[in-house]
Amino acid sequence: MSNPNDTSNDLPRGGLRVENLTCTRGGVPVLRGVSFKLSPGVAVLLRGPNGVGKTTLLRTIAGLQPPLRGSIEMNGAIAWAGHADAIKGTLSVSENLRFWASVHGVGRRGISATLDHAIESFYLGDLTTRPAQSLSAGQKRRLGLARLCVTGAEIWALDEPTVSLDADSVTLFADAVRAHCAAGGSALIATHIDPGIEAATLDLQPYSTRGDLNDAPSGGDEDDDETPLGDDVFLSEGSL
């Protein structure tokens, strides 16, 4: 969990504001001029072709890498879930969740209810004593996502969270996001599928430094060409 710039008092709890952000990958700008505001209670799907910079934007907002320029403000904490499931193979399912709850400051008094909620949300009840290393890929993914429920973070930054999940597990994920937003949280999600949730969308193609990636050859070097930028985006209830 990270909170790179929790300095704004005019944002509601769980709110996020990004202004004129330039993000780099390997030192090369891939997105320029990204600006939007995210309200609590809202999930947002990041859209764009492969290589446009969805993961790079999420990592920058989560504080895992610095922006080249621009600002990120948030009121609350942010939890990151990337391609790795962030689980310890030798620990059981329950022990993994208990570990992450302790890392994020869940006290002894509230830990049982917190763990029960995470286990129920991702249907892990029959697996609580199993070592994580013995789980299937889909079960590991569910455990990695259940970790979000014990962080207490208001903002979730999720990169391809449905990888390795079957249809029933995607439904569990969608329900967890809905519950998180209903409780005043928010979520930024990069995904290539429709997760079945009510969400706004943010198309990153207008902010790409590479022009139209749908017409670009794969594997080419990124360049630093200017592209027209869209207006600032305010992400609240509904779709854009």
CATH number of the domain encompassing residue 159? 3.40.50.300
Same domain flag for 97 and 140: yes
Flag whether pLDDT at 216 surpasses 90: no
Average pLDDT over residues 1-20: 74
Domain boundary among 109, 130, 152: 152
CA distance 230 to 206: 6
* Same domain? 101 vs 219: no
Q: How many domains does the structure of the chain reveal?
A: 2
158-170 average pLDDT score: 95
Instruction: Write out the two tokens for 54.
Output: 């969805």
Residue 209 covered by a domain: yes
Tell me the two tokens of residue 18.
């990004």
Instruction: Indicate the pTM of the whole model.
Output: 0.83
What residues contact 128, with CB distance under 8 A and at least 6 apart? 92, 93, 94, 119
The mean per-residue pLDDT over the stretch 23-47 comes to 96
Same structural domain, 131 and 231: no
Q: Tell me the per-residue pLDDT of 90-111, one tens digit each, with 9 for 90 and over.
A: 999 999 999 999 888 777 777 8
For the record, the structure tokens of 145 come out as: 């996502």
- 84 domain-assigned: no
In a domain, 196, yes or no: yes
CA atoms of 188 and 177, how far apart (whole Å): 10
Helices (H), the chain: 54-61, 93-103, 108-121, 137-146, 167-182
pLDDT value for 230: 27
pLDDT tens, residue by residue, 57-78: 999 999 999 999 999 999 999 9
> Residue 38 is part of which domain span?
1-77+155-240
**Within a domain: residue 239?**
yes
Query: Does 215 have pLDDT greater than 70?
Result: no
pLDDT-based confidence at residue 85 (cuts at 50, 70, 90): confident
Give the end of a domain, one of 152, 174, 204.
152
Domain final position from 152, 180, 196: 152
User: Model confidence at 10, in pLDDT bands (50, 70, 90)?
Assistant: confident
Please give the Cα distance from 168 to 165 (Å, whole number): 8
Per the prediction, the chain carries an average pLDDT of 85
Domain match, 112 and 143 both? yes
Which of 35-39, 154-158, 222-226 is the least confident region?
222-226
159 and 72 in one domain?
yes
DSSP 29-88: EEEEEEEEEE-TT-EEEEE--TTSSHHHHHHHHTTSS--SEEEEEESS-EEEE-SS----
Q: Are residues 70 and 14 in the same domain?
A: yes
Please give the share of the chain, as a percent, with pLDDT higher than 70: 83
82 within some domain: no
Whether 181 maps to a domain, the answer reads yes
- Per-residue confidence (pLDDT) for residue 198, from 0 to 100: 92
Query: Based on the domain organization, do 126 and 20 belong to the same domain?
Result: no
45 and 161 in one domain? yes
Q: Where on the phi/psi map is residue 70: left (φ > 0), alpha (ψ -120 to 50), or beta? A: left
Residue 103 lies in a domain: yes
**CA nearest neighbour of 122 among 143, 106, 101:** 143
Q: Residue 214 — pLDDT band, cuts 50, 70, 90?
A: low
HEC per residue, 79-98: EEECCCCCCCCCCEHHHHHH
Q: Pairing state of beta strands 69-74 and 43-47? A: unpaired
**pLDDT tens sequence across 181-213:** 999 999 999 998 899 999 999 999 999 998 655
Question: Three-state SS for 17?
Answer: strand
Nearest-angstrom CA–CA distance, 179 and 174: 9
> Are 63 and 2 contacting, i.e. CB atoms less than 8 angstroms apart?
yes
Residues 117 and 183 in one domain: no
Q: Which residue has the tokens 């809905």?
A: 178
Q: Are 135 and 108 in a shared domain?
A: yes
Both 44 and 67 in a single domain?
yes
For residues 166 and 122, state if they share a domain: no
